[in-house]
Amino acid sequence: MTGGPATPAPSIVPAPRQAPDALVEYLLRLGDDRLVLGHRLSEWCGHGPILEEDIALSNVALDLLGQATMFLRLAGQVEGRGRDEDALAYFREVVDFRNCQLVELPNGDFGFTIARQFLFDVHAVVVLDALSRSGNAELAAIAAKSLKEAKYHVRHSGEWVLKLGDGTAESHQRIQRAFDALWRFTPELFAADVVDAAMLAAGVGPDLAALQAVWDGLVRDVVERATLSLPHAAPPIAGRSGRQGSHTEALGHLLAEMQIVARSHPGAKW
Amino acid sequence: MTQTRTATPEDPAKVAAFEARIAAVESIEPNDWMPEKYRRQLVRMMSQHAHSEIVGMLPEGNWITRAPSLRRKISLIAKVQDEAGHGLYIYCGAETLGVDRAELIGQLLDGTAKYSSIFNYPTLSWADIGVIGWFVDGAAIVNQTILAKASYGPYARAMIRVCKEENFHKRQGYEIVATLANGTPAQKAMVQDAVDRWWWPSLMMFGPSDTDSPNTAELIRWKVKRKTNDELRQRFVNLTVPQAMAVNLTLPDPDMTFNAETENWEFGAIDWDEFNQVIRGNGPCNRERLEARRKAHDEGAWVREAANAYAAKQRASQASEAA
């Protein structure tokens, strides 16, 4: 045999991927949920049904983006590869995002936005409440601060569920339709995988199964008072979840818009 | 509800007392007697101002989803949200004059009310967000600092509050501009292009020249306006030229020269034909802006109806509990 050093033959067996750090993954989930939903809500700014709602939805968007900044910054620090919150927000691909699919769905009408927000806000309150007692002190501090905001958010979205559900025939029909369409995206909120199991074992994250019962009770209470009904248990969407990088097609369009300026000028400061 | 007022001649004694209060620089409050024309002028100015805040949310809102960093995204949302707040606050101020917000918004949507011509220009790059903060909020501050001394109390007080926030917006805008001006060649070109596009429309924000401003004389006499359009425009130019120099950006006016005697930066001729065209509805984005407002209003109708219906049900159930 002659020639230089042999190049390894391409293998059909993929190289073992380094197991992702569970804490980084977990922080990305928390950060991406809030980044994507905050972005969606900000799309309403200037287009709300009433001026007061332009202000209210912007407030929620601001809180969520502030929380996303803190969670993503911490994720970057724990990861230790020099990525800050902007690198994570602006220079990752769709399949690298770890948000649940619920938050990436396009806004639809105001009823759809409110129903989506309410389902998320209740989730945020129960999860952040648990995380505020996390064994990870930095995570616990961010969760405690975010929890205060989330309590306002759920009050806002919950009041609108009541107003729309028990308002006019049209509003009732619209928000009922929204809950019907959104319900199949809710199992994902509590579907625990290896990352959640690792976080639970490490005393960092909560027992999602236990939280689901709390969430379900809180959601049902408001929905029933709003004279609405929830669909029967929806089968989870088949395949991998948003937590593992599988998303609806809507997320790619959202990111294309969000990332266009940053990516057009790599290395630039803003 | 529209309050129709008959054109009965006003009591000369009341007019004289009103003029005396104005001369004594007293603040006129909602329940005070005022000439009908004063009331109408204020409704016109305040509603135009509130409409400008609301329509002004659109060109900047256009970049919220594309802001290039999380920090910039958050501050842009907060800025546009402030504008909604200003609009709300000024509509409430106008309501103290016996009109209501729904009526004023109706006039905006049917095209009979005006709003600032500047918002009929498109935002084409991220740099526009910086330049709008610097120029447009800067011009608004020049206007509103003077309006904060207006004779009508609710308007003057609204302006004091609005001005504080506008000052913050302007600093934020100038900071974006300075960052871009010190950035990559592409960023620098982007911000110079934005300056070139926004400079002249910003000068037009002060309205027609004094020789051609139909409302100015009376508004000045009643201390609704305290300076003329041209005086304010000059003040804005004098403030802005050194700021442009500080970040090495050029203002697109070859005639700009410093007059050492008057200490004014004397600028070239404004294209009043363009201004009049934009005012008449023929600007680049007039149709899009009104269409966006109408769409939000129409698509929000069922939400407002639901909120009203729900509130009525709540009142009814409270009344029956009390009975």
Mean pLDDT of chain B: 94
From residue A259, give the alpha-carbon distance in Å to each of A73, A254, A256, A264, B287: 17, 9, 6, 8, 29
Residue B316 pLDDT: 94
Check whether A99 has a pLDDT greater than 70. yes
Q: How many C-beta atoms surround the C-beta of residue A219 within 10 A?
A: 20
- Residue B250, amino acid: T
Mean pLDDT for A36-55 is 97
The answer to whether the beta carbons of residues A55 and B88 sit under 8 Å apart is yes
User: A256 in contact with B at a CB cutoff of 8 Å?
Assistant: no
pLDDT confidence band for A59 (50 / 70 / 90): very high
**Chain B residues 74-113 with a CB less than 8 Å from chain A:** 74, 77-78, 80-81, 84-85, 87-88, 91
Look-up of token digits 């990516």: A263
The answer to whether the beta carbons of residues A103 and A33 sit under 8 Å apart is yes
Give the closest residue to B117 by CA, choosing from B136, B92, B145.
B136
Q: What is the dihedral of CA B245, B247, B253, B259, to 10 degrees?
A: -10
| DSSP designation for A192 | -
Mean pLDDT for A124-144 is 98
Residue A133 pLDDT: 97
- B211 burial type by CB count under 10 A (0-12 exposed, 13-18 middle, 19+ buried): exposed
* A251 membership: H or E segment, kind and range: helix A250-264
The answer to whether the beta carbons of residues A246 and A110 sit under 8 Å apart is no
Check whether B152 has a pLDDT greater than 70. yes
Inter-chain contact B295–A47, Cβ cutoff 8 Å?
A: yes
pLDDT confidence band for B2 (50 / 70 / 90): very low
Mean pLDDT of chain A: 93
Closest by Cβ to B87, choosing from A47, A51, A265: A51
Closest by Cβ to A46, choosing from B57, B299, B313: B57
Give the closest residue to B181 by CA, choosing from B115, B131, B248, B230.
B248
Round to whole Å and give the CA distance between A73 and A57. 24
Summarize pLDDT for B184-243 with one digit per residue, the tens.
999 999 999 999 999 999 999 999 998 887 777 777 888 887 889 999 999 999 999 999
Residue B219 pLDDT: 79
Domains in chain A (CATH in brackets) are: 20-231+238-248 (1.20.1260.10)
Half-sphere exposure of A126 (CA within 13 A, CB side): 21
pLDDT confidence band for A95 (50 / 70 / 90): very high
Nearest CA in chain A to B298: A49
User: A209 in contact with B at a CB cutoff of 8 Å?
Assistant: no
CA distance A64 to chain B (A): 10
**Chain A residues 107-166 with a CB less than 8 Å from chain B:** 109-111, 162-164, 166
Residue A1 pLDDT: 45
Mean pLDDT for A2-7 is 53
Give percent of chain A with pLDDT exceeding 90. Answer: 89
Nearest CA in chain A to B81: A55
Q: What angle do CA A62, A68, A69 make, to 5 degrees?
A: 90
Mean pLDDT for A226-242 is 87
From residue B201, give the alpha-carbon distance in Å to each of A98, B205, B263: 44, 7, 24
- Classified as helix, coil or strand, B257 is strand
Closest by Cβ to A163, choosing from B77, B176, B306: B306
User: A257 in contact with B at a CB cutoff of 8 Å?
Assistant: yes
Q: Phi and psi (nearest 5°) for B89?
A: -65, -40
Burial of A41-62, coded b for 16+ CB within 10 Å and e otherwise, reads bbbbbbbbbbbebbbbbbbbbb
Check whether B293 has a pLDDT greater than 80. yes
- Classified as helix, coil or strand, A242 is helix
Position with higher pLDDT, A8 vs B295? B295
Position with higher pLDDT, B121 vs B164? B121
The answer to whether the beta carbons of residues A239 and A58 sit under 8 Å apart is no
User: B189 in contact with A at a CB cutoff of 8 Å?
Assistant: no
Q: What angle do CA B85, B91, B93 make, to 5 degrees?
A: 105
Burial of A178-195, coded b for 16+ CB within 10 Å and e otherwise, reads bbeebbbbbbbbbbbeeb
B57: which chain A residues are within 8 Å (Cβ-Cβ)?
A: 45-46, 54
Give the closest residue to A69 by CA, choosing from B184, B67, B130, B132.
B67
Inter-chain contact A45–B80, Cβ cutoff 8 Å?
A: yes
Inter-chain contact A69–B71, Cβ cutoff 8 Å?
A: yes
Look-up of token digits 């996390």: A134
Position with higher pLDDT, A12 vs B164? B164
A257: which chain B residues are within 8 Å (Cβ-Cβ)?
A: 65-66
Summarize pLDDT for B44-99 with one digit per residue, the tens.
999 999 999 999 999 999 999 999 999 999 999 999 999 999 999 999 999 999 99
From residue A119, give the alpha-carbon distance in Å to each of A86, A177, A222, A246: 27, 14, 11, 20
Check whether B290 has a pLDDT greater than 60. yes
Residue B38 pLDDT: 93
Mean pLDDT for A113-132 is 98
Closest by Cβ to A168, choosing from B126, B184, B309: B309
Residue A52 pLDDT: 95
Residue B1 pLDDT: 43
User: B164 in contact with A at a CB cutoff of 8 Å?
Assistant: no
In this prediction the pTM is 0.93
B271: alpha, beta or left, given left = phi > 0 and alpha = psi -120 to 50?
Answer: beta
Give the closest residue to A117 by CA, choosing from A152, A168, A146, A147.
A152
Round to whole Å and give the CA distance between B80 and B86. 10
| DSSP designation for A204 | S
